[in-house]
Amino acid sequence: MSDLSSLVTEQRNEHSMNLDQLSVEDCLKVINSEDQKVAEAVREALPAITEATVRISQKLKEGGRLFYVGAGTSGRLGYLDASECPPTFKTPPEMVQAIMAGGMAAFGKAKENAEDSESQGAADLKNEALTAKDTVIGIAASGRTPYVAGALKYAGKIGAYTVALSSNRKAEISAYAETAIEVVTGPEVLTGSTRMKAATGHKMVLNMISTAAMAQLGKVQENLMIDVHASNYKLMERAKRIIMDLTGTTYEQAAETLEQAHLKVKHSIVMIEAGISYEKADHYITLASGYAREAVRLAKQDKAG
């Protein structure tokens, strides 16, 4: 493993050398100024992010799973994104998962030494019965976390698609992945505290990958989440608004159709747009591989023919 001092994430930031002597306002201004550099760093990594997202989308279409693997803040970011996929896109819990060094116990209480074992990273993935259909994104700001390296090496041996997400150029974990995403956000305001810019950049990337991949799976129409899981009052109301926006129907009809469609927004849209029953909407959505626009087209085509 490389000397930590050579990593940009461990170097001192010249703009925050007097952090302890600044007023609260000036301290916050420095942090805000540095944070503005994160989006640019992500933009520079767009080619690699695009490559990864295209591959991941195809893997998910073929029934594969997506695993985020990390330690500490990196692991927590994986959990954050994975946990939001079921309510946002109505994905089954197994489709997007997170594996963290030290397990869920480390989510709320740091277990800093859990990241030091390569063999544990491999073992935790092995416990998930990883296959060549799956994808593993290893997340490590330093790019050298042993737990993540072990997971990526194991995934590569299995034939799964591997992605390394780091915050240093020529990161060591990049060598263990088919696609390397290096979001170089520079030295942190608080030296070595990669929960700051590095983590912000990585959260942006994970949000981008999951959102764009789900759009490719037909879970987005225009900029609306047509597979939202209407599991509470707020989400029920959002579901009705989505149906109204896409079909031009009334609130009352949107509510009635949503009930008939067993709270499935996509089915409601197809039912209204094509003028068909829930059962027929389900049939055409299956034929269209989950794409609502295509399901409506097929239904109308059959009606006309």
pLDDT digits (tens, 9 = 90+) for 136-190: 999 999 999 999 999 999 999 999 999 999 999 999 999 999 999 999 999 999 9
Mean pLDDT score of the chain: 95
Instruction: Decide if 42 contacts 204 (C-beta within 8 A).
Output: yes
Cβ burial of 15 (10 Å; 0-12, 13-18, 19+) is middle
Active-site annotation holds for 182: no
Pick the catalytic residue: 34, 115, 118, 273? 115
Pick the catalytic residue: 10, 84, 178, 294? 84
Report the DSSP beta bridge partners of residue 136: 67, 162
**Long-range contacts of range 264-267, CB-CB < 8 Å, 24 or more positions apart?**
264/90, 264/227, 265/225, 265/226, 265/227, 265/228, 265/230, 265/239, 266/218, 266/226, 266/227, 266/290, 266/292
Instruction: Decide if 196 contacts 73 (C-beta within 8 A).
Output: no
Q: How confident is the model over 232-257, as pLDDT tens digits?
A: 999 999 999 999 999 999 999 999 99
Q: How confident is the model over 107-129, as pLDDT tens digits?
A: 777 766 778 889 999 999 999 99
Report the DSSP beta bridge partners of residue 153: none
SS3 content of the chain, % helix, strand, coil (to 5): 60, 10, 30
The label of the residue with tokens 């990241």 reads 115
CA–CA gap between residue 192 and residue 145 (Å, rounded): 14
Active-site annotation holds for 10: no
